[in-house]
Amino acid sequence: MVDKLSSEINVSPDLLDVIIIGAGPCGLAVAARLREETPSAIFTDEEHQRYHWINKHSGRMALVRAQHRKMKGVRAEKWQAFHDRRPSNESSVSSSSPPPPSLASSVSTAPDVDGDPSDDTNSQHHLSTLVLDSTGDRWMEKWNRAFRALEIQQLRSPMFFHVDPGDRDGMLAYTQEMGREDDLWEIPGCVGKELSKHKKKKKQRCRAVAIGEDEIDERDRKDYFSPSTELFTDYCESIACRYGLDMPDMIQQCEITDLKYGIHPDLSPSDKIFTITASNGTQYYSRAVVLAIGPGRTKIFPFELTPEEEQGACHSTEIRAFPSPNVRGKIQQRQETNLVVVGGGLSSAQIVDMAVRKGVSKVWFLVRSDFKVKHFDISLNWMGKFKNLEKACFWSADTDEERLEKIQIARNGGSITPRYQKIVKHHIARKRVSLHTRTVICGRKYCPQTQTWHLTTDPPIPDLPPIDYIYFATGMQADVKELPLLQTMNREYPIETQKGFPCITDDLMWQPNVPLFLTGRLAALRLGPAAPNLEGARLGAERVAWSIEDVLGHQRTEYLKVMREKSCFCGLGNRYGELGDVDV
């Protein structure tokens, strides 16, 4: 009877184990990690050995600080299971907490409640998972569409930034296996080539990753290539295929309007599930939800556009065809065309380059701050294989305000790569681009008849002609308070925020007793400055997978217990089977 009930909750078409909202890199990383039984090491071998030892002796050993041996030993805090962290009125009575999860644990290999934990037949079950995405029914649809719209040929990230949970060097191995080394772009000037004798000795002695501010250890050269867009897309498709994530109906296209967590009439009053409502009225039910929606939906503009002005401007995320129809028409008639691009990040430089290549006469490039050039959108000391030093400082911060400050310092606003700096300088030398730093638009007037702008700037740009179109590459605002689908959660389960970033738990959960997991940029206060990147997607997936195993393991046990009690009450099954759960 128990086996029948167990299979019933696994194949139920109504209640799913996990629903992932978002089919981008973060969503794919979580879905793949949930099906990976032997994930690769994110930390070094020495750190893994230390963590295994701590977990093995959790709550029993004394941790002595090396520099203060006279101090009393500090007992390690014992790992707490999900039901131990829940409030007393919601947790069930348990005589002992389960052991801490293994670093190589997988949610797909959790043993059956009444089965043998060592039985490998139980490891074949995967969590029932559904992915909901507003853009399409395929993985990375929004990502690929954005790259096609801006004609981006190369990723900014190095080779070890990817979403494969099975191998840190998986993208490099895939490239070599497919014979696509020509799809790799070396990141010049990042890895040190010529170092002084003093620095070489220092590198050999300390095995340091960073020599100076702009160099990475020569031994890591193979990692500091970036893949082409096509190579990365194919690699992600191979990951989805490997883990069986490319099955029909795995991803459903819909716009989520509401997310609610509460009691369902068909379940026990002590059980809470998520009810997800789509814009077409369809409702989905799940025990756990992963929110992997990227930066959010709020576009940042230097000023609010009127409906009339929207005909002559757009945000970089809204580009579907480039250039705009009126500019394309003027180019075909060999008329003079002028564009304004506002922003200081890589997207703005890519739009500038694309406009010149499409035949625009001149592009006026306005940057609010200084023109910053970096290999990556975070500093190099967060990128190397020994980046855990920076992460340790970040995670040991006392407050979220301190963490937010570290994030802002590490990212330091928008920046472009050295490669695109050379491209922009080349266009400037040919008089096709005019770059203006520390410049903002302070006055504007749009004429619908001529479809042109008359702009004034601070400081003034002399002889600024009428502008045919404006592109705002000014980024997105990540604010959980403004996301429509989280309005119910913000009202019923309010949490603190820091400038829009939610102060979630270390397990990336909304609250300790609410299994809503956030990853990507919205989890920056827990993952660090790399949270919006591919590296953050992989690290976030690892944390989410560990926590989901804990959450669903507890919920599964409670559900089976309630169902057995109902069966016994109705005279079904063997009532003496309950004696098997009694501790002797």
The strand order across the sheet containing 362-367 reads 313-315, 469-472, 338-342, 362-367, 433-437
Q: What is the residue-level pLDDT of the chain in tens, covering all 584 positions?
A: 334 433 333 333 489 999 999 999 999 999 999 998 878 766 554 444 554 444 554 444 444 333 433 333 333 333 344 444 444 444 333 333 333 333 233 333 333 333 343 343 333 457 899 999 999 999 999 999 999 999 999 999 888 889 999 888 899 899 999 999 999 988 876 665 433 333 344 334 333 233 234 455 555 666 678 999 999 999 999 999 999 999 988 999 999 999 999 988 777 767 889 999 999 999 999 999 999 997 777 889 999 999 999 999 999 999 988 999 999 999 999 999 999 999 999 999 999 999 999 999 999 999 999 989 988 888 777 776 567 778 788 888 889 999 999 998 888 888 999 999 999 999 999 999 999 999 999 999 999 999 999 999 999 999 899 999 999 999 888 889 889 999 999 999 999 999 989 999 999 999 999 999 999 999 999 999 989 999 899 999 999 998 998 888 755 555 445 445 555 555 555 544 544 444 44
The SS3 assignment for 495 reads: coil
> What is the set of domains in the chain, with CATH numbers?
2-41+79-133+250-295+532-579 (no CATH), 298-377+414-475 (3.50.50.60)
Render 264-282 in DSSP notation, one character per residue.
-TTS-TT-EEEEEEETTS-
> Kindly report the CA angle at 96 between 95 and 102, in degrees rounded to 5?
160
Tokens of 473: 């590459």
Distances (CA, A) of 515 to 244, 403, 549, 552: 25, 23, 11, 9
Tokens of 409: 């310092």
The whole-chain average pLDDT of the chain stands at: 78
Name the helix (H) or strand (E) containing 433: strand 433-437
Distances (CA, A) of 270 to 9, 265, 562: 17, 11, 10
Report which residue type is found at 40.
S
Tokens of 484: 């429509």
Query: Residue 114 gets which letter from DSSP?
Result: T
The SS3 assignment for 468 reads: coil
CB–CB of 348/316 below 8 Å?
Answer: yes
Render 220-251 in DSSP notation, one character per residue.
GGGG-EEEBHHHHHHHHHHHHHHTT--STTSE
Name the helix (H) or strand (E) containing 365: strand 362-367
Strand partners, 253: 133
The pLDDT, as a whole number, for residue 6 is 39
Strand partners, 299: 476
pTM exceeds 0.85: no
Considering only CA atoms, which of 29, 575, 511 is closest in space to residue 294? 29
The pLDDT, as a whole number, for residue 218 is 57
Quick one: angle between helices 346-357 and 418-429, nearest 10? 40
